[in-house]
Structure formats: structure tokens, C-alpha cells
Amino acid sequence: MKTIANLPEIYMTQTKAGPDIAAGRLPEDAYAENFSDLHPLLDQHEAQVEADRCYFCYDAPCMQACPTSIDIPQFIRQISTGNPTGAAKTIFAQNILGGMCARVCPTETLCEEVCVREVAEGKPVKIGQLQRYSTDHFMSEFSSTPFTRAAETGKKIAVVGAGPAGLSCAHRLAVHGHNVTLFDAREKAGGLNEYGIASYKSVDDFAAKEVDFILSIGGIDVRTGMRLGSNLDLATLRAEYDAVFLGIGLGGVNALGLEGEDKSGAIDAVDYIADLRQAKDLSELPVGRRIVVIGGGMTAVDIAVQTKLLGAEEVTIAYRRGQDRMNASEYEQQLAQTSGVRIMTWAQPKGLVGENGAITAIELERTQDQDGALTGTGEVITLPADMVFKAVGQTLVQTELGDALTLERGRIVVDADRKTSLADVWAGGDCVQGGEDLTVAAVEDGKIAAESINAALTA
């Protein structure tokens, strides 16, 4: 067939014409298929069979591994006894965002990694999927959280950032009867749940539904479009409210520090993911034919897999060290690889090649570990690329905070109660020092901070 003979010509033509970035690379029905649930909701039989595998361990390792200390054996037992509502209550008691955590938690490095059946047979109980089974059941049966608000205390608390940390904190404060104003810079509440989660982990509008569910407790006033440092400032909040919780995440993105980073086609992964999450029609979202992702964390995997699912032909994650050093879990790495993403290790970005203001290729230098220090070998490879995604970490936008707070390595310093250097300001989630950059850890921060705030205000 002539297609084979024609291929190089088409290829050349398109390269000369500039980057190959186009929408609608896939047949119409492929988008729904590609972006469907990574792990579909277990049906009743599947949940029963899986729940029956739990040994109801004493002082269970899974429970200890959960940052929010969900009583996992208890909720699984409740599923097995035909009480999924009770199971959900057990989960929500520790983690009001149990529904989202069931979807996005890297369970393979948390509860499921230490499951005794992982030890016994290499097959842990599917804790995450069972959690989703019960929380989804609850949220479809009941429109409000299983908590009852305490009598109003008259105390006002400002929670800045309506992501997992802020939502968790706001809910727990509301339960204690406080009045919460929940600010967020974006148009919608939810934070990374709404704007940052890989689409195949949270399909439909679950993030928005979960926000509504959390707000159903009452006593939480949501104000979106309010950004610290522009139309909101910490000093005023401290003056107007009895306490402040900062769950502002990491709004800044690290740059590669290369020439030509301003060219079109060099994109912040988190921005593209946000666009993808908000896109009404994925077939209208332009994506390159050849993609290179710089980074080694969850965001790198998320963008790599999703661009592949959007129809990109060649997707490469370039990481400067060995695969064992990647922050993305082993499971995530495998997900990338089974999705057809190439993981190229020991390669760091050296330069961006472009034509007419657009990127056409990236130069990567081979690296090596010399007595613990990462050095370039001088060998440079050029990979053609229509899009280069930067996924090398996010940073706290310090200008938003003024200089009242103590920071360390670019993050807010908090104590065990998530209290900052200011007596009336607490913080949690990705913006605090020592954080784990996990949704579930953010939820725990919010919960602990809320209890601490409550103790301080009712003392």
C-alpha cells in the first residue's frame, strides 16, 4: 500500500508546517471509553466477595497506614454484614472526603501495601474500592452528611482554600457549631479535586457533588473568586474572624530554567490538567502528536497518561534519575507504561528547540549518579515534541501571605496541631512544611486543625 511510502512525506510536511497540535484525534466514542472510571464501582456481589476477604485484624496495619485513621476493618465488616450505610458512617467519621480519597488515594503505598493479605498472598483486600462502594452508596441514599451540627457557638472562622484541607477543616468546624466562611480563588470550590485529579480517577462531576455533600452540614458560607494577595488579605481576615485556616495549596509552578520556555508548546502540566478537568467536550481539547513530560511525580504520570488517552501518539516521561527514585508510585508508573507511555530515565532537559515561536523538539542530556551527585554526561538526545509539559513540582506563592508567617523551604511551618507561628492562624494541606502532597493527608490536616481551633475557641 502506498500509505507506507507516503508516511514520511506527511510527517515531514507537518513538521515543517509547525507543531502538530490538534483536537479530535480520536473517534467520538473513544473519549468516553478512555476517560471512564479506572476502577469501576464494585457491584454488590463484588463488594461482598471482597469484603469477605478481610480478616478483621486487631490494631489493623491498614488503619495505622491511613493518614486519617479510618477504621478499615470495621467498615469492611459492616459491608459484609449488609450495612453499607454504617460502613460509610465509619469512614466519614474520620474522613469526610472519604469518597474522593477512595478514588485518588495511592492505596498501594498506604493501606493496601500493609494489608496482611498482601503479606500472605500478595493480594491485598481492595480497601479503596470497598471504601468507594460504601461512600457512593451513602451519597446516593442520603443528601447530607451523617453529622449533626452542634448548637451555634457564634464564633467565625475564615478558611482559605476550598480544596481537601479547607473542606475537611470547614466541615469539622461546622459540626462543632462554628460559622465558617470558605474562600477560594477559583470559580468553583474543590481545589485539586475539581481542577487537578486525573479524569479517569474521578469521573463525572463527583468533586462538585462531594463539595455539596460536605456543605450540607450547614454553617459554611462559600465565597469563590477570592484570592489571598489580591482581593483578600491575611491581616484583615485575622481582624475579622476568630481564627483563620490556610489551605491554599501550592499555586506556583516550578520552571525548567531553560531558554525558550516561553515558546508555545511549553506548558505547565497542572494548567493543562485543569483545562482537561473543566473541558465540556474532550474532543475539542487540542493535544500534540508527540509529547514529552519532564518530571517524575504523580502529576507527570497524570499528564502523560491523559495526553495519551486524548490521542497523542508518542508520550515520553523524561526523568533525571532512575525509575526507583520517581515520586510516582510503582502502581502509577505501571499505569503509565501499560497506557503506552515511555518512561525515559537518567535524562534531564537541556534545551528547547523551536520554530516560529513554537516548540518542535526538546534536547535531553543523559545523566548519571556520581557518588550520590547527579551529573550530566554531555551526551545529548533530541526528541521531537509538539508539546513539552513541565511537571517538576509546585511552589507556595509567598507573596499571597505577606511576611507574617514563618516559612521553611518555601512552605508554612506548623506544629502537630497544624498551628502556624501566628496564634490565630492554622494551616494544612500541600502548603505546609512536612506535608505529603496527598489528598488524604490534607484531609487529616484540616481535621486536626479544626479540632485545635475548636479547642482554642471554646477553652
**Between 5 and 58, whose beta carbon lies closer to other proteins?**
58
What is the Cα–Cα distance from 223 to 234, expressed in whole angstroms? Answer: 15
User: What residues are paired with 59 via a beta bridge?
Assistant: none
**Least distance CB 434 / other proteins (angstroms):** 23
**Least distance CB 130 / other proteins (angstroms):** 15
**Least distance CB 75 / other proteins (angstroms):** 17
State the burial class of residue 116 (Cβ atoms within 10 Å of its Cβ: 0-12, 13-18, 19+): middle
**Least distance CB 73 / other proteins (angstroms):** 10
Helix, strand and coil content of the chain, in percent to the nearest 5, comes to: 40, 20, 40
What is the Cα–Cα distance from 160 to 163, expressed in whole angstroms? Answer: 9
**Between 52 and 281, whose beta carbon lies closer to other proteins?**
52
Please give the span between the terminal C-alpha atoms of the chain, in angstroms, as a whole number: 81
Helices (H), 241-297: 269-278
**Least distance CB 112 / other proteins (angstroms):** 14
**Between 6 and 64, whose beta carbon lies closer to other proteins?**
64
What is the Cα–Cα distance from 237 to 299, expressed in whole angstroms? Answer: 32
**Between 70 and 448, whose beta carbon lies closer to other proteins?**
70
Nearest to residue 118, comparing CAs of 338, 322, 331, 436? 331
What is the Cα–Cα distance from 453 to 157, expressed in whole angstroms? Answer: 9
**Least distance CB 86 / other proteins (angstroms):** 16
Q: Which residues touch 74 (CB under 8 Å, ≥6 apart)?
A: 90
Contacts of range 334-339, beta carbons closer than 8 Å, 24 or more positions apart? 335/38, 335/301, 335/305, 336/301, 336/304, 336/305, 339/304, 339/305, 339/308, 339/309
**Between 48 and 216, whose beta carbon lies closer to other proteins?**
48
**Least distance CB 45 / other proteins (angstroms):** 9
User: What residues are paired with 381 via a beta bridge?
Assistant: 364
**Least distance CB 47 / other proteins (angstroms):** 12
**Between 30 and 57, whose beta carbon lies closer to other proteins?**
57
- The residue written with cell numbers 513530560 in the block is 293
Contacts to other proteins by CB under 8 A: 48-49, 52, 55-61, 80, 116-117, 119-120
**Between 48 and 264, whose beta carbon lies closer to other proteins?**
48
What is the Cα–Cα distance from 109 to 343, expressed in whole angstroms? Answer: 20
